Structure 1
């Protein structure tokens, strides 16, 4: 629709320019014709006056048209003839009126006379204005009708396109929907709709295959990992193992645990991005979730001797409850893991905003880069670099804003919503 509005504005602008230029050209043309006719009448009158002065012994009785005038003045020497526009006082109307004057010189019986013939222009100018205004009005009316007709036809012709565009805007891949459109009389739009239908069909098939592959891959990876962990636990119970062997098994166990955690987080990210979590329809009270997570992390907080400061107002966004749990857990875990011993964590919850601040070491990268997957600035082996990426994905899916700022030794993560 914006395209049609833009085209309609261009048409209006072009029509106004064409109307102004056309009206101006028409006015100049008509005025030129009227002035040429007046000049011809003046020259015709000049010929008549000259003939009467030369062939009649007395001053001529020259009959002019109504409103015109003739003046004879004796002069000593003649000058060049001239044709000028002037404004003279009309005794009949008692107003100043426009005139076209022709001045020429004739000699009668050895005496030179200056002859001035004046023709009134008021009626011709009124006629000119009336004609130009009438034609301009008719042209403007035609342009308006053409613009309205063109706009109506454009909307009618482009309606299928915007209908298709609206369907694409509302299209959700996770619903496996294949868009279907009725047959359109316009061949191009009908071909477009067929292409869109074929595209959505391929997308739905590809999405389903990808979803099944992800789920199957996660399941198949988790099964051998469980077997590996079970075998490691069994081997660790073997009393014949020496210390180097035990240390190697512990390293393998730690790597297997990291791989299992990585597999679970990547699967969770995929599910969130594919909108496999049901959308929430009620406001989540984050205070309950924050307090519960703080209790779960109490031992870790005490071990690190971290000072907790909270300012919580019972509020929260409208979102899936499970995603809210993951969001809060990752924010708090990140604040604890990347804090310093005997550091501080501040949690502020108010309508429309959750702020988690923690003391920590400076980072050498831009804060927004910390939302990238596998981005780590700590050598802590327990971190897989997906915590903040998971938080970012949850915020994007739920149309919330996430900001990361660093102020001196304070790291501030802000989640805001409407």
Structure 2
């Protein structure tokens, strides 16, 4: 969800809560104001009736009569016996509404009066505005306010999204397109918003530092790899010369072990350098790669090694399968998978290869894994720690797959002792 939309939702939610609370408060304030006005009006009515009684107005009852009259006018006048303390009582009551035919809230004002040495109870009640009318008026008002708030919020949101957030979107787009291998930091641009200026300056500083660190790291890796290969080559040459001399069997084994360690160290240096280049996206220029021809050529190249290991290869390849990726990475990807299937096979084993426009599957017979399958694609993780593998082949495969918008999965069938690696081309938009 966009930031502006989330802000608008929160704003409207808060507005609804505030308006709801305001509506309740408004209802009681309005009702209280109307009830207060009614009390004053009914007090005046009671005073007028008291004045008429004092002036001798005959309301049709004698001093012993207790029958209430004028109830059709919401009025009760009752003569009382004995002396009373003059007082006024204002209360809320429920009274029958003849038109609505239901009980309605009313204000009732009652007074005890001494008039011409007689005691009277005078009471009147009524409502100018029904509670339903007040609620209806308040709800209509709040709905109008809410509607205007929604329209205003959408207008402000459109304005904010279209203009105010434009520098933010431009910076976000630059960050999205930023690549270390281009070695160009994102330059800060001046905006009219302080926070966006601070963001742009921060992005400028961070990308400048990242480019500088990347350059230093790249130079170090290249120099280290280059400088490491030279002494390794010299040591390898010296050991080869040493093997041509007369050595005891035990000394010859030592020399062979040293040569194996040097070869492993050289391969490790090359693999780590390759991983660094892949992770730094130095292989970014992708193109259509014919995987069918790539696999056929590779099988021809590895034919002697496959025969030497006594392996049977079954290849079911669809013609002209095209995958969008860097050709060097494609070659490294397949070579590592094939070498892994050969290296971790068994005597008189097999390699089954299946390729179509949707996926590439390579399966081989081998020993059961001694590590968690989830760790198989991590650096320096090997299925068999006793092998001479440096444990970077599948890690390189994983990096290539991620960079090329592919998906890789591994499975093992205990019954057949079969290892299967599958690469899906579904997310590769240009695979055919």
TM-score (norm 2): 0.79
Residue 272 in structure 1 maps to residue 278 in structure 2: yes
1:350 equivalent in structure 2: 356
Alpha-carbon separation, structure 2, partners of 1:77 and 1:88: 32
Q: How far off is 1:32 after superposition?
A: 1.1
State the Cα deviation string for residues 91-114 of structure 1 (Å, max 9, x = none). Answer: xxx988966566779999999998
Q: How far off is 1:379 after superposition?
A: 5.0
Q: 1:311 aligns with which of 308, 316, 331?
A: 316
Q: How far off is 1:45 after superposition?
A: 1.5
Alpha-carbon separation, structure 1, partners of 2:232 and 2:286: 33
* TM-align CA RMSD: 3.8
Q: Any conservation in 2 of the 1:368–1:403 contact (CA below 8 Å)?
A: no
Mapping for residues 60-209 of structure 1, pairs under 5 Å: 69=73, 84-89=93-98, 117=124, 119=126, 121-122=128-129, 128=134, 132=138, 136=142, 139-140=145-146, 143-144=149-150, 147=153, 151=157, 155=161, 156-209=163-216
Alpha-carbon separation, structure 2, partners of 1:378 and 1:108: 115
TM-score (norm 1): 0.81
Q: 1:412 aligns with which of 416, 420, 426?
A: 420
> Where does structure 2 lack aligned partners over 5 or more consecutive residues?
61-71, 83-87, 428-432
Q: How far off is 1:149 after superposition?
A: 6.8
2:326 equivalent in structure 1: 320
2:399 equivalent in structure 1: 393
2:343 equivalent in structure 1: 337
Residue 224 in structure 1 maps to residue 228 in structure 2: no
> Where does structure 1 lack aligned partners over 5 or more consecutive residues?
61-67
State the Cα deviation string for residues 155-176 of structure 1 (Å, max 9, x = none). Answer: 4555434432332222110110
Q: Any conservation in 1 of the 2:4–2:160 contact (CA below 8 Å)?
A: yes
SS in 2 for 1:317: strand
Residue 44 in structure 1 maps to residue 44 in structure 2: yes
2:53 equivalent in structure 1: 53
Q: Any conservation in 2 of the 1:280–1:320 contact (CA below 8 Å)?
A: yes
1:65 equivalent in structure 2: none
Q: How far off is 1:144 after superposition?
A: 4.4
SS in 1 for 2:287: coil
1:8 equivalent in structure 2: 8
1:256 equivalent in structure 2: 262
Identify the range of structure 1 (46-55 vs 333-342) with the bigger mean alpha-carbon deviation.
46-55
Alpha-carbon separation, structure 2, partners of 1:255 and 1:123: 98
Q: Are the structure 2 counterparts of residues 258 and 58 from structure 1 closer, same or farther at C-alpha, using a change threshold of 3 Å?
A: closer
Alpha-carbon separation, structure 2, partners of 1:259 and 1:50: 117
Alpha-carbon separation, structure 2, partners of 1:380 and 1:299: 24
SS in 2 for 1:206: helix
Alpha-carbon separation, structure 1, partners of 2:22 and 2:128: 24
Q: Any conservation in 1 of the 2:369–2:384 contact (CA below 8 Å)?
A: no
Q: Are the structure 2 counterparts of residues 111 and 287 from structure 1 closer, same or farther at C-alpha, using a change threshold of 3 Å?
A: same
State the Cα deviation string for residues 223-247 of structure 1 (Å, max 9, x = none). Answer: 3333333333334344x44444444
Q: Any conservation in 2 of the 1:70–1:115 contact (CA below 8 Å)?
A: no
Give the aligned length.
Answer: 405
